[in-house]
Every structure is written in C-alpha cells, then in structure tokens.
Amino acid sequence: MTEEIMLDATELKCRYAAGERSFIKAQLSGTDLSGIDLRGIDLREANLCQANLTKTNLSGTNLSAANLSWANLTLADLRAANLSRANLSWAKISWANLKEANLKGANLIWAT
C-alpha cells in the first residue's frame, strides 16, 4: 500500500528534475505548479484540489483517481493523460488540450 507523500512545489520540481516520476498519492492541494513541464509524471490518487496548473504540461501523465476539484487547468496540456475516475468538479478546464485523454468515469460536474 502506497502512503501519502507530502510535497510542496519546490520539492516536486527538484525531484522531477532529478528523474523521479512516481508521486502516487502526493498531497499537493493548493500548490502552484503553473507553467512547468511535468509530462509523463505519475500522480495517481494525488490530491491537487485547488492547485494552479495553468499552462502546465501534463501530457502523458497518469492522474487516475486524482482529486482535481477546484483546480485551475486553463491552457494545460493534458494530451493522452489518464484522467479516469479523476474528480474534476468545479475545475477550470477552459482551453485545456484534452486530445486523446482518458476521461472514463471522471467527475466533471460544474467544470468550466
């Protein structure tokens, strides 16, 4: 069983830059990750509630069962991302690129 990982934006960026890609169950609620390249990262079951992901490159990421409620994903690149069973309620997804993204079972209630 994977334990929750408490991270801030700086630590996530450093660990990602060092080649780490697995951040399953990461606690990133309210974190500002805008405009950075996180392609291919594994954020399964992560808590990204109210996170700022504006213009973030999340292409090819695994965000299955992640909590993205109230997150700002405006202009985010989510091409081929796995968002199955993700909670995107109240998320801002305007102009996000969702081409080939898997949204099976995702909660999109009140997402705009």
Parse the chain into domains and list their residue ranges. Answer: 1-112
What pLDDT shows up at residue 1?
Answer: 56
Domain 1-112 -> CATH class = mainly beta
The whole-angstrom separation of Cα 55 and Cα 5 is 24
Ranges of the chain with pLDDT below 50: none
pTM for the full predicted model: 0.95
- Strand ranges (DSSP E) for 1-112? 5-6, 26-27
Q: How far apart are the first and last CA of the chain?
A: 34
The whole-angstrom separation of Cα 67 and Cα 96 is 17
* 3-state class percentages of the chain: helix first, strand second, coil last, to nearest 5: 10, 20, 75
